Amino acid sequence: MYEGLKGFTDFYPDEMAPRREVIDTIEDTARAYGFRETSTPALEPAEMWTDKSGEDIVDELYDFEDKGGRHVTLTPELTPTVARMVVAKQQALSKPIKWFSTRPFWRYEQVQQGRYRELYQTNADIFGSSEPDADAEVLAFAADSLTNLGLDGSEFEFRVSHRDILGELLRSFDADVAVPDAIRAVDKRAKVEDEEYLGLLSDAGLSYDQAREFDDLLIAGDDDLSALTDFSDSDELAAAVENLENVLAAAEDFGVRQYCDVSLTTARGLDYYTGVVFECFDASGEVSRSIFGGGRYDHLIEEFGGQSTPAVGVGIGVMNSTLPLLLQVHDAWPGEGISTDYYVLQVGDVRPVASRIARELRERGHVVETDVSGRSFGGQMNYADSIDAETVVIVGERDLENDEVTVKDMESGDQTNVPVDEFPGDREKPTHDDFA
């Protein structure tokens, strides 16, 4: 017997059914906002990640040399791929570009609850708009996805921050600060002890006292953003604060401001983020890790060789992620198992009639199964019960001699004979009660 690889998961039909419902709900929400679906490759040049993040990132990749001698990797995230796609057809694409996709990604990292080496994620991105409305629409799409899945505003929260605020605050100190390193330290704040966090800020160029003052400013800014502009008269800082305020005002108009809390210690670790960033958390705290996140990345298209194009997006993990944990904690996880609308049971040489009934029911959009294994009457009834069939249509040789079929309600056990030419007839979803 072979065993599956660590960090990779098999989903049997009864486990996959609720996950498919989650994916469909999020994708339907994306379509309602006008996002158009794309499909992207599993393999990309590894340089798309090493050029931006350094060779150390290969420790987190499933990378290898292919038969053509190219250094390639299974894609760990979508953003560089869609950036490459935008650059390839930038002149021909109408702006704003609004794309979404659901697909797997692979990251070689420590396996833990809600974090696996293969994950599935729905990404939604807007290219070509720097307006606060674009940021607010991404927040609204994310919030509507969660409420459409059955959550309410008391069960999740968006912690909203701004990378330019963090950067300009750091530059306001009389110190030679490596801003990207300091922001990565902020991203680790909730994951390490206080002393280690302050040490990381010190390693980035702040003195210990400056690191403490910087952290105090972030906490003060959560309650009152004016505390930041009181600390520094930087025009760039003032512009970043105003942009965050404008995004929150747009979120109010989009109906999702109540889900958003200013949290300047939310940083997002990737260097390509430029403006508003956010992460979704379980408001109850039972799921301690981030559910998903997103933000603005205005320079990435240009860095990939395209024209300057502002962009903002979000990636929602839908399988092998923390979203299922959030839904389970708040009793919003779709029911496990598979249901079938009709089972067409065959007794004797009745395949033409049984197949016609099954085909006509499927044409009405129903889930229909019939026997393909030559089982006995009892075996077929047991199978119909195992798949939670609502209605069993019994097509038997004796019944057909009388031009009838038997329609059985599986919940009540009641059954009745129906003229074969009247089933399904012109009814959209005929049941036992229609003929009793």
* Residue 212 assigned ligand-binding role: no
* Residue 248 assigned ligand-binding role: no
Asked whether 289 and 265 are in contact (CB, 8 A), the reply is: no
Q: From CA 197, how far away is CA 200, in angstroms rounded?
A: 5
CA atoms within 13 A on the CB side of 197: 15
Q: Give the SS3 label for residue 296.
A: strand
The length of the chain is 436
Query: Which of 286, 282, 244, 307 lies closest to 86 in space, CA to CA?
Result: 307
Q: From CA 386, how far away is CA 338, in angstroms rounded?
A: 9
Q: From CA 238, how far away is CA 248, in angstroms rounded?
A: 15
* Residue 109 assigned ligand-binding role: no
* Residue 107 assigned ligand-binding role: yes
* Residue 79 assigned ligand-binding role: yes
Q: Which residues pair with 313 in a beta bridge?
A: 125, 295
Q: Which residues contact 372 (CB under 8 A, 6 or more apart)?
A: none
Question: Strands 389-396 and 340-347, how do they pair?
Answer: parallel
* Residue 125 assigned ligand-binding role: yes
* Residue 121 assigned ligand-binding role: yes
130-162 burial by CB neighbour count: b if 16+ within 10 A, else e?
bebbbbbbbbbbbbbbbbebebeeebbbbbbbb
* Residue 102 assigned ligand-binding role: no
* Residue 78 assigned ligand-binding role: yes
Name the binding residues for L-histidine.
77-79, 107, 121, 125, 268, 272-273
Q: Which residues are annotated as a binding site?
A: 77-79, 107, 121, 125, 268, 272-273
